[in-house]
Structure 1
Amino acid sequence: MKAFIVFTRIPLEHKTKTRLLPYYTPKQCVGLHIAMLKDLARTLNGLDASVKTYIYYLPEGDVSIIKNIFGDDKTYREQRGEDLGDKMYNAISEVLAEGAEAVSLSGTDIPLLLAEDIESSFTFLENNDIVLSPTEDGGYYLVGMKKANKEIFDIEGYGTGSVFENTKQKIEDMGLSLGTGRRLRDIDTKEDIKAYYGIIRTDLDFRKTHTAIFLKENKSIAIIIPTYNEEETIVSLMNQLKGIKDRCEIVFVDGGSTDNTAKLIEESKFRLLHSKKGRNNQMNLGALSVEADILFFLHCDSTLPPNPLKEILDLMEVYRAGCFGIAFKSLSPLMFICRYISNHRVFDRKVMFGDQGIVIDRDLFMEIGMYPDLPIMEDYQLSLTLKEKGIKLGMARHRIYTSTRRFKGGPIRKLRLMWKMNRLRAKYRRGVNIEEISAMYKDVR
């Protein structure tokens, strides 16, 4: 008989995944643990029928929580021992004494663990005394043996970055043969979670797992809104945001409005910061004031689609930066053309503008130096910088509607303005002084 032992805690707040606090709340830590247990249960169900599974758990909480996940066909036992090494030795020794020919043991925080990894550990044991499978952080997530050996668990500093190497050295010093499984990443820290965001973007199979879905849905979002003389639009936007304010952080950054904008912002519901004028200054201040995983820069004259947070999470599941498509509250054929050109530009020229609602990974935003110190074209330069770094842009499923206050007048005036904006961008690309370009761009507020 071959046996596989799972070492786990019962998912309880303030007991499980505590190294993720305060990045995750205690409730989120439990949710992540449960998601990983569900994925492991599916992996165990894919094992060869000759492998018997044991679940060894810490004696705290209601064991029915994990029984409901793993099923009644597993053998459940409490962990015994003073420390982790002692507990692992006792479990392996116990199962070997019951007639198992080979035993492998693993924890529950390796989302990429496959049935093949477990079964290959038994293959290694056919020709080796010990098998170890390393983690990215210097530990190991799987250990297997045919004879109980207490000495290899007498390693100081479990949870440090030298456990695998120290254990490997001890095995070699004892004259035992070692088989090594593939290296995988566990989830213990905020940095591990961020690494798994990258895996989600590239691994379609992993994207379907309980763990990946949980990680995606629990990304935090901050909405940052620069304001300047927006008393005509601010109330409408706040009304849209009230329905989602409990699921994200919302920060208004006023650039010295001379009207009633700042007074109208409901500080009991939203955060209000003050900055010198300039969208770049305002948005950078807002970004520095939050810890969210995702930054969403939104203009005040925007109308959001239904479920904007879900659209953002869906977008950022695959991309590190992107935007919503744009539409205008106008039946003018020219505005339909402007809409088409703006949305097509995201994929054709890799350029997005602020009125499309820019969405970006916070770490990426900080890595590129935030918005550049420019009085105008800050969103254009942001896109150019992302393009230089090879960052692909995505687009959310639905559109943001924005006002046409800059496009007042008849068709001729609209065409002239569109041509002017195109010319200003061309001047910027040619290196024309930014103050000269800014002087040509008249603020409509």
Structure 2
Amino acid sequence: MIVFSRYPEPGVTKTRMIPALGAERAAGLQESLTKRTLAVASEYRSGHSCDLEVRFAGGDSTRMRNAFGTDKEYRSQQGASLGERLIDAFAVAFNEGATRVVVIGSDCPEMDPTILDEAMRALSHADVVLGPAIDGGYYLIGLNANQPGLFQEIDWGGENVFRQTARKAIQLRCKVHCLQTLSDVDYPEDLVVCRHCLDPIDGVLPLTREGLLSVIVPTLNEERCIEQTLSRIVGHPNVEVIVADGGSKDATIEISRRMGAAVVPANPGRGRQMNAGAALASGDALLFLHADTQLPELFHQHLRTTLEQGAVAGAFSLRIDDDRWGLRWIEHGVNFRSRFLGRPYGDQGLFVSARRFFEIGGFPNWPLMEDVELCRRLRKQGTISLVEAAVTTSARRWLRLGILKTTLINQLCIAGFGLGIPPDTLHRWYRSRR
């Protein structure tokens, strides 16, 4: 069993987390994830005849032993690319007499000993075992014989690493066994899985505070409306406001900070941004609010009452800030669907307990339909209630293209999603229509 990891040096490790966490906390995250992975590997080793080795980058063997214990072998990674480093690790292990070798990354907090057991057992009848990651890579690869060709001509770091490796294995006439798909933790939005799998440690992840509501607002160039939205919620007792920004080039970030909101930089895409904001929230309840939507008076009390009455989640009724009669019909349709079908959308201020949100894995990291998918999973657990009090959302998206055309585009997206069209494809089509 070989664990690939890095020495947790601030500013060098988990650099893609630094904008959201800072250098020290990003290094702390690396250390925490590595410790958890090694604990899982050690638990597996305790019941099996298995050597445990750590292949590390950065630091040295002494510092790695001081950080992660002396009960395992430490060797530095050799090679420029990940492919070269894997080739070297497998070659050394097989040359030293190993008959089955499994390499795992240290960025998968969902890993457990049963997965390692399945991987090792599968190598008795399969040549290659792969554990696919949601981001398109893999968190585990196992071999029962050295296969250096498996790691050549792979676009390392891209979203097709798993697919290319599986295709390469077939070309080499290897029998492949695939494990369940799990999450790697590489970007701020991935921290959602850590909130479910890891205890808050060393200040890396926030502690949940009972009675605190976290309002997460995804933004991208929203300087025209963000101040009005934040002015209604910043400063409320027992409410924290987190702006999850996807790379605004205007004054959105400056206005948000001046208003008193915390700003979390995130990869663009509403699902990713809301996950990143939620992962760094301290509230025991989470409310996701679009940047052009204003909450009603007493929103905090409405939310608490709804959750305390047993709903798994909730949303507010919808009001659109324009007097055109066509928009009144849209409001009626949205509120009818939400009340009787339990299908609110993101512009209605979705809210849920933090515990439940993290347990179901948060939003999918999609640019579109992330709210539909979240509500689909929530409805399997209970009722999504509609609050009579209404949020007020901007009419801008209906007025830009016209009420009828905007409604038709929205319904076509819903239908396409129901037919299995990937959200990324729908998003490209949606943007081209707008």
Instruction: Calculate the TM-score normalised by the size of structure 1.
Output: 0.53
Contact 2:3–2:38 (Cα < 8 Å) also in 1? no
Residue of structure 1 aligned with 2:33, choices 36, 44, 49: 36
Gaps of 5+ in 1: 201-205, 229-233, 250-266, 274-285, 296-308, 327-338, 353-359, 376-380, 397-424, 430-445
CA gap of 1:220–1:143, structure 2 versus 1, over 3 A, is farther
Question: Deviation of residue 70 (structure 1)?
Answer: 3.0
Contact 2:129–2:178 (Cα < 8 Å) also in 1? yes
The equivalences for 1:238-387 within 5 A come to 271-272=258-259, 313-316=282-285, 319-320=286-287, 344=305, 347-348=308-309, 373=321
CA gap of 1:271–1:290, structure 2 versus 1, over 3 A, is farther
Contact 1:130–1:145 (Cα < 8 Å) also in 2? yes
Q: 1:111 is matched by which residue type in structure 2?
A: P
Residue of structure 2 aligned with 1:9, choices 6, 11, 19: 6
Identity, % of aligned positions: 23
Query: Hey, what does 1:226 align to over in structure 2?
Result: 231
CA gap of 1:220–1:160, structure 2 versus 1, over 3 A, is farther
Question: Deviation of residue 32 (structure 1)?
Answer: 1.5
Residue of structure 2 aligned with 1:102, choices 97, 100, 103: 100
> C-alpha separation between the residues in 1 aligned to 2:85 and 2:179?
22
Query: Hey, what does 1:131 align to over in structure 2?
Result: 129
Contact 1:131–1:178 (Cα < 8 Å) also in 2? yes
> C-alpha separation between the residues in 2 aligned to 1:109 and 1:124?
22
CA gap of 1:15–1:212, structure 2 versus 1, over 3 A, is closer
CA gap of 1:209–1:46, structure 2 versus 1, over 3 A, is farther
Q: 1:130 is matched by which residue type in structure 2?
A: V
Gaps of 5+ in 2: 209-213, 218-226, 244-253, 267-272, 290-294, 324-331, 345-349, 356-386, 392-434
Q: 2:133 is matched by which residue type in structure 1?
A: T
Residue of structure 1 aligned with 2:154, choices 153, 156, 170: 156
Question: Deviation of residue 226 (structure 1)?
Answer: 3.0
Q: 1:347 is matched by which residue type in structure 2?
A: E
> C-alpha separation between the residues in 2 aligned to 1:32 and 1:427?
40
Question: Deviation of residue 159 (structure 1)?
Answer: 1.2
Question: Deviation of residue 113 (structure 1)?
Answer: 0.8
Question: Deviation of residue 14 (structure 1)?
Answer: 2.7
Paired residues, what number?
301
> C-alpha separation between the residues in 2 aligned to 1:72 and 1:113?
22
> C-alpha separation between the residues in 1 aligned to 2:343 and 2:79?
51
> C-alpha separation between the residues in 2 aligned to 1:149 and 1:427?
62
Question: Deviation of residue 193 (structure 1)?
Answer: 3.0
Question: Deviation of residue 41 (structure 1)?
Answer: 2.3
CA gap of 1:81–1:374, structure 2 versus 1, over 3 A, is same
Secondary structure of the corresponding residue to residue 164 of structure 1: helix
Contact 2:242–2:264 (Cα < 8 Å) also in 1? no
Query: CA RMSD, aligned part only?
Result: 5.3
